[in-house]
Structure 1
Amino acid sequence: MGAVKQVDIAVIGAGPAGLSLACALASSGLQLCLIDPQSKAELSDPPMDGRDIAMTHLSKTILMEMGVWQRFESDVVHPLCEATVQDGSSPYALHFERSDDPDAPLGYLVANHQIRKALFSQAQTLKNVDWLYEQSVISTSASGSGGRVVLDNGDVIEASLVVSADSRFSTTRRMMGIGAKMKDFGRVMIVCNMTHPGSHRNTAQECFYYGRTCAILPLGENTSSIVITVPAAKAEELTSSSPEDFESCVSDMLEHRLGKLTLVSERFSYPLVGAYADKFVSPGYALIGDAAVGMHPVTAHGYNLGLRSADTLAKQILKAKQQGKDIGSLSVLQGYEWRHQLLAKPLYESTNMIVRLYTDDRPLAKLARKAAIRVGNNIAPFKKLVTHRLTQIR
């Protein structure tokens, strides 16, 4: 056996959720340990992965409180002023915009790798965090008396609370005997950045065509992130085609609404698989981020939910510490689980329902989706609810 290290909280995974939890507990007086298989160099300067996150105003508020938002350079934050949903080639679209303040954005688009970089940079300043780079977990256990993490180098971490933040395919979740309902959508998401002569007007556009979807996420001037989802069998054709053929295909797909598109980044592809853990906690153990709930990216809001999980758990931990309670006790952790389930379950199920409806090409489904857009556009409370979710501050 290697060395034994004692900490208050062991966080497995130094991705966006794990780093967010560390930043949220900066002033807690608790000692944290972050464990990740990547090197410090890889974590400090993550490569572009093509994914852009539609950040809500609440996410901005939370990241401001952590000191993370201030680390973004102004040119990596792109205001999102409006969003539209369109079915097929129909010119009719469901519109979301701010009625309370037309000059304020609905939200902000920030590249995933920029979020990771800012979070890691902020977490590096924390005095209460120990870092274990290039370390993999070979076993995890937890009970009412605390948790134990064994690393591949033989070292052991003992903690009052173990937190898994190691992706929707979490291996440590399985080590703890917690299952998850996995939803394989049978589709692949292809993402890239493209330039175009037409203006995107800072408007996100979700276009549901038959057999595929295409989203336009507005970045800098005359630049957009293009997100295409197709059946897995057709993904290879798009990712392996020449840049010229790909550009022509996407321009045609979008009916040239932005003019001729030019590829300016690598094409990235991701199989679309959703995940919802059977439970989020057990004595001495908690799941956050995608390890708890892995969302379909159709709304580009996955990190918002992961950030909320870290923020909610941190608040429960801080409250328990102030009251002199065991931070790993089931009663404390169930408060987090209840709150996060209340937020995550409706969002996860409604997102999957939308995906099912808008990827079903049967005649009745086509009629239903066209009707849904028209009904949604004319029901003020629905639009206000969606807009409020995007723009609420706390």
Structure 2
Amino acid sequence: MLNFDIVIVGAGPAGLCFAQAVAGCGLRIAILERQPESMLADPAFDGREIALTHHSAHIMQALGLWQRIDNNAISLLRDAQVLNGPSLYAMQIEHDANKTASLGYLVANHLIRKAAYEAVKASPDITLLTASDITAISTDNDGAYISLANGTKVQAQLLVAADSRFSETRRAMGIPATMHDFGKTMMVCVMEHSIPHHHVAWEWFDYGQTLALLPMNGTQSSVVITLPAADIQRLMSLNEAEFNQEIALRFKHRLGSMQLASTRHAYPLVTAYASQLVAKRFALIGDAAVGMHPVTAHGFNFGLFGINVLADEIKTAKSRGSNIAASALLERYQRKHRFKTRPLFLATHAIAKLYGNDTIPARLIRAASLRLGNSISPFKRAVAHMLTEAS
């Protein structure tokens, strides 16, 4: 029997960051991960570029992650624009609305994962148990119990699930989640383009497709295209020359000529919100708790917020000699995380529904709402503040 204070299921960015957040206060922490450690030590590029708020950057600095990422791999998100249909008119969201130098930053997901792994490996409080397949999970008043396929038994005071929006741990604990499959697939890749982006992010709700552009350093951008699965499969199968031509055409040549600069990756567009974020000696974090729609680019930011809240509650309890898995403690985390995430989760669904509707009435409402939002300065400042989370 292996005994720990906290066991975390999942060594993705959320699980690794949470382990790092609670390390250093005298707790014994274990991370259970299905993948071999070699894949954590050198994660492959997966196409995903993560938009980080200023608050998230501060959390990553406090966790010792930011310092492990090459400055040249961190891009500024100076401003943003929202476009609708074929029109050149855009709602402009500018960084100086909140008196900051930028709305935020852009960092590749695999670099965040690598930095988090390196930080965790440097901590004497954290044990990584990789290539670990879980066969059974339970909790009671006395502890959390995990059985592994290799026969190992693990016990802890608190079990934390960080194993994606499709969390098997959440399901094993009997916690349902509201999941919505938009019936679309996102393709992500890096493109080089001849017209500069000026570090402006795009969210373009074109008719029949949604395009996003996240500006990287130089003349490259992370491009996200959302289409029905069959259309994405066709895009993925095109040779490079055909692909370059089609992407430039889909962007209506507003970025000039475009060349593929990375591998292509596809992900189903599915959101998830757990019916409860905690149970007896159990908590959900990251996408296992709240799997956001990417339209606001807030998924990992919300994950870091929840990690920070739960870690602070645990460290405070530890310093007072209290139960780190007390029901009241877990309820406080749930209440704070729901208050932070629920309104935007619901709002993004409404936005996605409206801007994914190409009927004539919806097109008129889309255009009118964009112009109205652009003309109301307090609204734009509120949006800028939500995107930056600057203090």
Equivalent residue letter for 2:112: I
Does the aligned pair in 2 maintain the 1:139–1:172 contact within 8 Å?
Answer: no
Instruction: Give the counterpart of 1:99 among 93, 96, 101.
Output: 96
User: What does residue 370 of structure 1 align with?
Assistant: 367
CA distance in 2, matches of 1:86, 1:390: 17
Equivalenced residue count is 391
Does the aligned pair in 2 maintain the 1:11–1:163 contact within 8 Å?
Answer: yes
Does the aligned pair in 2 maintain the 1:61–1:393 contact within 8 Å?
Answer: no
Task: Note the 1:16-31 alignment, pairs <5 A.
Answer: 16-31=13-28
Does the aligned pair in 2 maintain the 1:84–1:203 contact within 8 Å?
Answer: yes
Does the aligned pair in 2 maintain the 1:144–1:328 contact within 8 Å?
Answer: no
Cα distance, 1:392 vs. partner? 3.1
Instruction: Give the counterpart of 2:56 among 31, 36, 59.
Output: 59
Q: Provide Cα deviations, 1:63-105, integer angstroms capped at 9, x if missing partner.
A: 1111111111011100011100000111110111122576711
Equivalent residue letter for 2:284: L
User: What does residue 177 of structure 1 align with?
Assistant: 174
Task: Note the 1:241-390 alignment, pairs <5 A.
Answer: 241-390=238-387
User: What does residue 77 of structure 2 align with?
Assistant: 80
Q: What secondary structure sits across from 2:131 in the alignment? A: coil
Cα distance, 1:393 vs. partner? 4.1
CA distance in 1, matches of 2:390, 2:146: 37
1:150 maps to 2:159: no
Q: What secondary structure sits across from 2:156 in the alignment? A: strand
Q: What secondary structure sits across from 1:99 in the alignment? A: helix
CA distance in 2, matches of 1:213, 1:245: 20
CA distance in 2, matches of 1:188, 1:296: 12
Equivalent residue letter for 2:19: A
Equivalent residue letter for 1:226: V
- Over 6 Å off, 4+ runs: none
CA distance in 2, matches of 1:254, 1:298: 18
User: What does residue 190 of structure 2 align with?
Assistant: 193
Considering only aligned residues, what root-mean-square deviation do their CA atoms show, in Å?
Answer: 1.2
Equivalent residue letter for 1:271: P
CA distance in 2, matches of 1:335, 1:106: 30
User: What does residue 220 of structure 1 align with?
Assistant: 217
Equivalent residue letter for 1:52: E
Q: What secondary structure sits across from 1:328 in the alignment? A: coil
TM-score with structure 2 length normalisation? Answer: 0.98
Q: What secondary structure sits across from 1:387 in the alignment? A: helix
User: What does residue 159 of structure 1 align with?
Assistant: 156
Equivalent residue letter for 1:307: L
Q: Provide Cα deviations, 1:216-271, integer angstroms capped at 9, x if missing partner.
A: 11112111111000012322111111211211111111111111100111111001
User: What does residue 233 of structure 2 align with?
Assistant: 236
Cα distance, 1:144 vs. partner? 2.5
Instruction: Give the counterpart of 2:205 among 208, 232, 239.
Output: 208
Equivalent residue letter for 1:339: K
Does the aligned pair in 2 maintain the 1:144–1:329 contact within 8 Å?
Answer: no
Q: What secondary structure sits across from 2:180 in the alignment? A: strand
Equivalent residue letter for 1:253: R
Task: Give the fraction of aligned pairs with identical amino acids, expressed as a percent.
Answer: 44
**Distance change (3 Å), C-alpha of 1:229 and 1:100:** closer
Shifted more, 136-145 versus 265-274: the winner is 136-145
Does the aligned pair in 1 maintain the 2:248–2:257 contact within 8 Å?
Answer: yes
Cα distance, 1:389 vs. partner? 2.2
User: What does residue 48 of structure 1 align with?
Assistant: 45
